[in-house]
Amino acid sequence: MKRYDGAVAVVTGASSGIGRRVAVDLTDRGATVVGLARRGDLLAELQPTIKAATPASRTQTCDVSDERAYRQVLAEIAEEHGGIDILINNAAIEQLTPASDPERMMEGARRLFATNFFGLVAGTLAVLPGMIERRSGIVVNVSSDAARAPEPGHSAYSASKAAVSAFTEAIAHEVAASSVHVHVLYPGWVPTAMGMSGFGEGDTLPPKPVRRTEEQVSQLLLNRMGGPRIEINAAWLPLLAPIGRTVLPRAYQREMRRRFAAIG
C-alpha cells in the first residue's frame, strides 16, 4: 500500500462522497490533508476524523467556482505548509440541461462549467508552478464516463467533464519533463448523493461492471497516482463506449435514445 507520509494534500469536494473518502484515506496513509468544500456542517464532521490520523490536517469552506477565492485559499495553504504536494480536484455539480429548455440549458451550462471546469483549471494552474519548481507533485482531476459517452439530458455536465479530460491530458504532457504527474480519474458509477440523483425507487441502476464504491475508487487512486499513466480508470466497461459508438453506431444511438425516453 503506497504511503504519503509528510505530503501535503488538498482535496476539493471533501464534504461527502469520493472526496471525503479520499481525504480520510490520504490521512490514513500519512498525508496532511486540507479538505475543501462548500458545506461547512459536513466539513465540521470530517475534521476530527482526519485530524486524528494526522494532527495538522483540517478542513476549510471554499467554493471552487469562485476562482479568485479558490486560488487565494491554495496560496494560503502553500504558505502555511511550505507547498502543496497533491491536489485532488474532485468538486463537481450536476443538473439536467435539456435542449428543450434553452434558457435552463444556458444557465445550467454556465453553472456547471464554473465549478466542474473553470474552478478545476484555476486550481491546477495555481499549484503547478510550485510543483514544477520542486520537480515533484501530483494533480488529479476527476472526470466522468459521461465524457466518453455523453448522456441525453446531461449535455452540459458531459461537456464539462469532456473539457476536464482534454485539459488534463494536454497539461500532463506539458509538465511531464518536470517530474510532475497530472492524472484524470474516471471513477465509474458510484452511489454517492450525486450519483444517485435522477434515480427513483425501483429504477434500474447502471450495470455492475461500471459500479464502484467510494472506498474502491479511493484505494485505486491512491495506489496509482504518481505513476506513469495519465488516465486512472476504476471500471473497464466504459472504455468500450467509444468502440461501440464507432463499430455499432445505430445500436449505440438506439440505446442512448431509449435512455432519454426513460428520463423524459
The residues annotated with a catalytic role in the active site are 143, 157, 161
Beta pairing, strands 32-37 & 58-61: parallel
Length of the chain measured in residues: 264
Three cell numbers at 204? 434500474
Q: Which long-range contacts (CB under 8 A, 24 or more apart) does 113-118 make?
A: 113/156, 113/159, 113/160, 113/163, 114/65, 115/63, 115/64, 115/65, 115/91, 116/92, 116/157, 116/160, 116/161, 116/163, 116/164, 117/160, 117/163, 117/164, 117/167, 118/65, 118/67
Dist CA 151 CA 81 (whole Å): 41
Residues 176 and 228 sit within 8 Å (Cβ to Cβ): no
